[in-house]
Structure 1
């Protein structure tokens, strides 16, 4: 499955690409609220295990209620199974791999038993050198492992529109399996499988999934989460 650009009309594709830039500068107030909520929920019983989703606006469930995003749906599924795990939403709208690397320490105050790394999409939309993005992803994984060697790490792969050229697009897509292989982490090949580029499953900006879209994303990631916690 690749990003279904053929279903987008030319004006819609232009809107998609234009709003991609906007997505990298979304309101700080939403960001602050997300991180404050995360911090407030950090005071839990010491024997509870943590699943940390560390990413950008996709993780943050931009445009919908956070509980209806794929992280919130993960918590609901875990609760329904009676499992003692807390899902932490470390999503920050507009985040890049470099920004993620710089703020990671704050989220590593408590051990993540499962660490889901969902970054890089904004790098691709900005045309940041793939070598730089890859280096940052490797460093993030190294930092997590250095502090918590037993943490299970899952890397969420991403694809981008071809506006940066086929060579860049191909190099970007190949970055994720390369990182996963180099570091021996679990790879979700494409986070937005069956969602990306499908208008009815995304908000009017053409970038962020609707509630229905997030449900599909959740079904894509759940087998990987389930395998990590069993």
Structure 2
């Protein structure tokens, strides 16, 4: 190895990683990937927290079962220092069993923690037409898991834009490009303490 390349190698070796395990909301569905909140977060990290990078392992349509089945592989691949888990919306929209959803999220949290990573659990809320019993139990999964495992919690990813129809694409589910910076800015205060 040439001596001139040593500083670059040392910088790369010291790089720390935020791994995002999410669904279409984190995979920038319907948008160029660079316009999504995760890519915007990566840009912010580069400027405000040099030495940090983002690995986005989000997949559109992903459920908690899919995330739980992939978590070990992604942890090995990226060796993250922080894991953002943004999953569950597709479970809820499909009316899947909430006990299983909770177990899948817990499996991801435990695997991440056991790998040495800090965890930010990002919650979701469901439309009221799913009924109060299901929607409330769905939300409780996030708060109770965060409390039980001592993880950071962002209760509702879409909170800054939820009431603004213009912030969503025609499907009324996925945010437009103009809304993505608001999501990044909403995630940042929950994530920043985990980077210290």
Aligned to 1:5: none
Of 59, 62, 73, 2:26 maps to 59
Give the whole-Å Cα distance in 2 for the aligned partners of 1:81 and 1:217. 17
Aligned to 1:48: 15
CA contact (8 A) 2:160 2:186 kept: no
Of 120, 134, 139, 1:154 maps to 120
Give the whole-Å Cα distance in 2 for the aligned partners of 1:174 and 1:191. 15
Q: Which has the higher contact order (CA 8 A, sep 6+)?
A: 1
* Aligned CA-pair RMSD: 1.4
Structure 1 position 80, deviation (Å)? 1.8
Aligned to 1:177: 143
Give the whole-Å Cα distance in 1 for the aligned partners of 2:16 and 2:42. 12
CA contact (8 A) 1:197 1:206 kept: no
Of 75, 83, 91, 1:108 maps to 75
Give the whole-Å Cα distance in 2 for the aligned partners of 1:135 and 1:223. 27
The runs of 4+ residues in structure 1 deviating greater than 4 Å are none
Structure 1 position 207, deviation (Å)? 0.4
Aligned to 2:47: 80
TM-score, with length taken from structure 1 = 0.77
TM-score, with length taken from structure 2 = 0.90
Gaps of 5+ in 2: 1-10
Check 1:118–1:82 CA distance in 2 against 1; reply closer, same or farther (3 A cut): closer
How many positions carry a matched residue from both structures? Answer: 185
Aligned to 2:131: 165
Structure 1 position 98, deviation (Å)? 0.6
Q: Which region of structure 1 is more displaced relative to structure 2, 132-141 or 192-201?
A: 192-201
